[in-house]
Every structure is written in structure tokens, then in C-alpha cells.
């Protein structure tokens, strides 16, 4: 199986839930603490490709920073990309990547959409 990476925020209950699911099932994984170690532009571009999403779709629209600065603004996708690079707190979480696929694991069980294991295993 390809490497599984969880883009994790330890303060987020949803992110903790996805990490616990991987741990409980003994699924080997790497934790990427993306707030302490922000994604490079190349990493974000690759992750967006795996998710098949645009930058604006990966925004945490309930985050205080988003509400204060970006809500209701007409912003082109390339600018959303830059905003995510400069403000990793706005990245939706948790994201779990495996090979050429990734998913926003909300709910946590969505990780099984990209793994070869059945949900009950």
C-alpha cells in the first residue's frame, strides 16, 4: 500500500477522530503537522490534484480569519491558492492522502474511500 499521510491539526476534534481511526485499525501512516510545517506551493498543488478540488473548495469557511477577511469576496482561484499557502489555518481538515488519491475525512470514515481496506476492518 502507498504511504498514507494525514494532514493533521491536533486542536481539531475531526482531525483527532481521523487519526484515532487510523491508529485503532493499525493502519501505518505519517502525520503531517501542517500548521507547524506548512505545505509548499508544490505540495499544495499536488494535494489539490489528489483531492480533485480547487483552492476555494478547501477553505475552512467557518474559521475566524476567513469570516473576517475573505467571506463574500470575489477572489479568483490563483489568489485562493496564495491565501492557503500564506494562511495554513484556513486549510480544511483533516486531509488523508494515499498514493494519487486524497479525501477530506469529514466524517473520519471517509478515509476508507481512498484505502484498499473495507470500512469494517
Q: Are 8 and 94 in contact (CB under 8 A)?
A: yes
Grid cell for residue 44? 499544495
Q: Which residues of 26-52 are buried (b: 16+ CB within 10 A; e: fewer)?
A: ebebeebebbeebbeeeebeebbebbe
Cβ partners under 8 Å of residue 36, min gap 6? none
Whether 12 is catalytic: yes
> Rounded to whole angstroms, what are the CA distances from 118 to 70, 111, 113?
39, 10, 9
The one catalytic residue among 4, 5, 12, 53: 12
Catalytic residue set: 12
Amino acid at each position: 500500500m502507498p504511504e498514507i499521510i494525514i494532514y493533521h491539526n491536533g486542536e481539531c476534534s475531526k482531525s483527532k477522530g481521523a487519526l484515532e481511526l487510523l491508529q485503532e485499525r493499525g493502519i501505518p501512516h505519517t502525520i503531517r503537522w501542517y500548521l507547524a510545517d506548512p505545505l509548499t506551493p508544490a505540495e499544495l498543488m499536488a494535494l489539490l490534484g489528489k483531492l480533485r478540488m480547487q483552492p476555494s473548495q478547501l477553505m475552512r469557511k467557518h474559521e475566524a480569519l476567513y469570516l473576517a477577511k475573505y467571506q463574500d469576496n470575489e477572489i479568483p482561484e490563483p489568489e485562493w491558492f496564495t491565501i492557503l499557502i500564506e494562511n495554513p489555518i484556513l486549510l480544511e481538515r483533516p486531509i488523508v492522502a494515499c498514493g494519487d488519491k486524497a479525501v477530506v475525512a469529514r466524517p473520519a470514515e471517509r478515509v476508507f474511500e481512498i484505502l484498499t481496506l473495507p470500512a469494517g476492518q
